[in-house]
Structure 1
Amino acid sequence: MEPLADGKMAVQVGLFREGAAVKPRRRKVVKELDQGTADAFVRRLCNLLDTADFFGRHASLSPQEKIAKLFLASAEDKNKSDFNCAVSPKVRQQVPILFQAIAGVMEEKSGAMVQSAAEINVEGFGRGLLYTGRVILVLKSLRAGAPFPFTSEEKTIRYGVECIEEGLDFLEKYKEMTACHGLFSLEG
């Protein structure tokens, strides 16, 4: 080894031996979900799943069973997506339904018409967009399908509620900034 490299290694080993303080990893603080928003999201998601159930085969299922059977991806679907960087058909189905459900809850809570546009290609790249008028409330980029496919109801609800809260916070902030002109009259 070169003398400079030996010197660097000696310094690093010396620090390690002296018990130099190593920064502990920060744990992500898990915020408590608003139960009202979570319930509204589950209800809206089930309503969207019911619209695709043309013959009512799953009408007797509870909301949790309906989400598990009609929306969540199986471990096999997840492995298909992870294996060759191509997303499974289940993931391509999840993306627009999830963002439509989020938009519906945001409409209920804000009183403004919120629209969603979600797309994902076969390689897993795409976007989820929630907007009202000219204002983009939520924009999520999908890279290799992440965070999809959702395989657990808890993760699905957490993601949905976080998007709802993010969009409503932005809408409230934007309403304050444009109080004189209104949301729809701004050039931009």
Structure 2
Amino acid sequence: MEPMANESAALQGTVIPGAAAARLRSPRARKELNPETADALIRRLCHLLDAGDFFGRNSSLPPLEKIAKLFLASAGDKDQSEFNCAVSPKVRQQVPLLFQAMAGVMEERTGLMIQSTAEINGEGFGRGLIYSGRVILVLKSLRAGFPFPFTSAEKTISYGVECIEEGMAFLEKYKELTSAHGLLSLEG
């Protein structure tokens, strides 16, 4: 913490320890990822990438290498997306694939039919949506393509796991609220 801030806090009688001050300054504290969810997301993403690899040229690659080769954007793709607010073809590929993989993991976990849709225009504005019946579980707005394009597997998996956990938490909350009629009921 800044020396002046410490002095000001000391004068008021509220000194914040260094670790707590660092947490306050960081915009978002990173929590540990659920390894089971991360593994399921990697597996689902690899299945989707295999479906697009018509001749099976990359089927023998390990999962993270397959993601790096077929899914992740290069620095040039990222620069192309940032230049002139145009979206690179890599971003247009990443958005629906990642949302499909997240929906697949949630479907495996819940046993419900969970679907995804993603749209992005040429300037990078759009949305990604994961839903079940009439219930929207995850809704992410894309502005200038952000947070896409992903250039590292760690950031991709982290983003996907956070979205899955957000959707699962909302699903549990909604199940409790609609236990009388059922989750996919057309009533009330």
TM-score w.r.t. the length of structure 1 is 0.87
Note the alpha carbon deviations across 1:100-158, whole angstroms, 9 max, x for none. Answer: 00000000111111000101111000000000010000000000000000000000000
CA displacement at 1:20 relative to structure 2: 4.8
Note the alpha carbon deviations across 1:61-81, whole angstroms, 9 max, x for none. Answer: 110110000000000000001
Pairing 1:18-33 to 2, within 5 Å after superposition? 20=8, 26-27=25-26, 28-33=28-33
The CA distance in 2 between the partners of 1:187 and 1:127, in whole Å, is: 28
5+ residue gaps, structure 1, are: 1-15
TM-score w.r.t. the length of structure 2 is 0.87
Note the alpha carbon deviations across 1:4-60, whole angstroms, 9 max, x for none. Answer: xxxxxxxxxxxx8xx656x96622211000000000000000000000000000011
**3-state SS of 2:90 partner:** helix
User: Which residue in 2 is equivalent to 1:3?
Assistant: none
Structure 1 moving runs of 4+ over 6 Å: none
5+ residue gaps, structure 2, are: 10-15
User: Which residue in 1 is equivalent to 2:160?
Assistant: 160
Q: Which amino acid aligns with 2:30?
A: V
CA displacement at 1:186 relative to structure 2: 4.0
Q: How many residues align?
A: 172
**3-state SS of 2:82 partner:** helix
User: Which residue in 1 is equivalent to 2:40?
Assistant: 40
Note the alpha carbon deviations across 1:71-103, whole angstroms, 9 max, x for none. Answer: 000000000011110010000000000000000
CA displacement at 1:183 relative to structure 2: 1.4
User: Which residue in 2 is equivalent to 1:6?
Assistant: none
CA RMSD of aligned residues (A): 1.8
Q: Which amino acid aligns with 2:159?
A: Y
Preserved contact between residue 95 and residue 128 of structure 2 (Cα < 8 Å): yes
Pairing 1:78-93 to 2, within 5 Å after superposition? 78-93=78-93
The alignment status of 1:174 with 2:174, answered yes or no, reads yes
**3-state SS of 2:25 partner:** coil
User: Which residue in 2 is equivalent to 1:128?
Assistant: 128
The CA distance in 2 between the partners of 1:149 and 1:84, in whole Å, is: 15
Pairing 1:63-142 to 2, within 5 Å after superposition? 63-142=63-142
Q: Which amino acid aligns with 1:140?
A: K
**3-state SS of 1:107 partner:** helix
